[in-house]
Structure 1
Amino acid sequence: MKKKHRLEKLAQPGRQIRNYDGRLRDANTFKPEKVLVHDWVEERVAAAEQLRELMAISKRHDFEDFEAVRDLISEQYGARIGGVRGGTELVSIDELTKVQITTTDQKTVTPAIIAAEELVREVMDDLLDGSNEDLRQIVDRAFVRNRQTGKISTTQIRRLASLEINHPKWPQAQRALREAINNAGVRQYMRFYRRKTLQSPWELVDLNYSALEV
């Protein structure tokens, strides 16, 4: 939006903006610079939401189209590409573009992990007197939550559950750890690559908005 249009919107009579407390206030009761920032942020977030929806539609279309091509090849030519699980890599004839498709199981940690952690800590308190610091660190890392997502790593929990520890309650702790991991379905990924020559390295077509160069 051009500067002139922004100033016209700023001076629009009778305009109201919702404050942080949920109440509507006349726009002219806010500082002009705050209104300009407000408008820009609202526009950019709305545009990002539209872009996300377009990407979601494109992703659904791409996977539906891949399945159609896969079925067509199977029906018409008796050949098979890819599978339900694992990875699929499709390369163009000139070998300068390719698409990688992967399907992974999604696992999450359930609230039962709290009781499992208490049991593990009880076992550790019985076993450790400070002499086995490595084992203590493995246990501590298993229950650390990701700072951004607030989630516990299922990989670390599985690693902890795989340890063989000589304690009468450890089998019970192992079972509690494994039962605290829930299968949350599957997730499909599609990645696109291009290279300039057959000797050039593959370059990912990065669809991460923040990674785009401007």
Structure 2
Amino acid sequence: MDAATETRAAAEGVTFVNGREYMHDAKGNLVPAANIKPEDRLEDEMVRKIIAFARDLSAQITRFRDHTMADISSFDQLLAQEYGASVGGKKGNKTYQTFDGLMRVQVQVADQIAFGPQLQIAKALIDECLNEWSADSRPEIQSIVTRAFNTDKEGQINKSELFMLLRLEIADDRWNRAMEAIRASIRVTGSKEYVRFYTRSAIDAPWTAVTIDLARA
């Protein structure tokens, strides 16, 4: 078997044993290719083809991201040398725009947040409040609390719902102490940069995002 045939066979998930074609099943067993249903082979070929394109696209997006950040960094360094100051607002957010005002690149820095043990104290205080208040007096608060402390699929606290609790104004000492405990529990563990791209057809037209998210394309 020549190298080209071996490469093609590997890409198709085929293994040759004594000159016969085999494929591994999901349990790791070698199954003669002749014994595999045509629809199973067709599904296998389709998935392998899609995954090959997906891997190529993922690598291309990675290269695009790296080149984009390198270009922005080079431009920032050029401005810093020219004016002796760094680019960006208080949190490092930056906006770059074409001369005609029709294209825009935005760099946004988002804090990565974790919560300390004070959060459990806050939950206990909030539970005390909810248990004492009548069941039907503040159902909307009960709903927010339930969503805030229910973990998502990754086991993370629902941050947006938790921050909604902080915006509620309730005249109860335990509630206010609970909110203080939530604020004390917030810990910034790092930050992550997001790059977003926008275009518009005219100066008075609305901005339209250039979508790179497969789910929103």
Partner Cα separation in structure 2 for residue 43 and residue 112 of structure 1: 50
Partner Cα separation in structure 2 for residue 61 and residue 206 of structure 1: 18
SS for the counterpart of 1:81 is coil
Partner Cα separation in structure 2 for residue 175 and residue 85 of structure 1: 24
Q: How far is 1:72 from its partner? A: 0.7
Q: How far is 1:171 from its partner? A: 5.5
Q: Deviations over 1:67-125 (max 9, x none)?
A: 11111122034465324625322111122222111111122457986675455323311
What TM-score do you get using the length of structure 2 for normalisation? 0.73
- Cα contact 2:119–2:182 (8 A) shared by 1: yes
Q: In the alignment, which residue of structure 2 is the partner of 1:25?
A: 31
- AA aligned to 2:35 is T
SS for the counterpart of 1:37 is helix
Q: How far is 1:36 from its partner? A: 1.1
Aligned residues: 204
Identity %: 27
> Is it true that 1:128 corresponds to 2:128 in the alignment?
no
Partner Cα separation in structure 2 for residue 17 and residue 110 of structure 1: 50
SS for the counterpart of 1:15 is strand
Matches within 5 A, 1:94-173: 94-108=100-114, 117-146=123-152, 151-161=156-166, 163=168, 165=170, 169-170=174-175, 173=178
> Is it true that 1:196 corresponds to 2:174 in the alignment?
no
- Cα contact 2:126–2:178 (8 A) shared by 1: yes
Partner Cα separation in structure 2 for residue 110 and residue 46 of structure 1: 42
Structure 1 portions without partners, runs of 5+: none
Q: In the alignment, which residue of structure 1 is the partner of 2:81?
A: 75
Query: Against the structure 1 CA distance between its residues 24 and 180, is the aligned structure 2 distance closer, same or farther, given a 3 Å change threshold?
Result: farther
Comparing 185-194 with 159-168, greater Cα deviation is found at: 159-168
Query: Against the structure 1 CA distance between its residues 16 and 111, is the aligned structure 2 distance closer, same or farther, given a 3 Å change threshold?
Result: farther
Partner Cα separation in structure 2 for residue 180 and residue 31 of structure 1: 57
- Cα contact 1:116–1:180 (8 A) shared by 2: no
- AA aligned to 1:64 is A
Report the RMSD for the aligned CA atoms in angstroms.
3.4
- Cα contact 1:89–1:100 (8 A) shared by 2: yes
Q: How far is 1:48 from its partner? A: 1.1
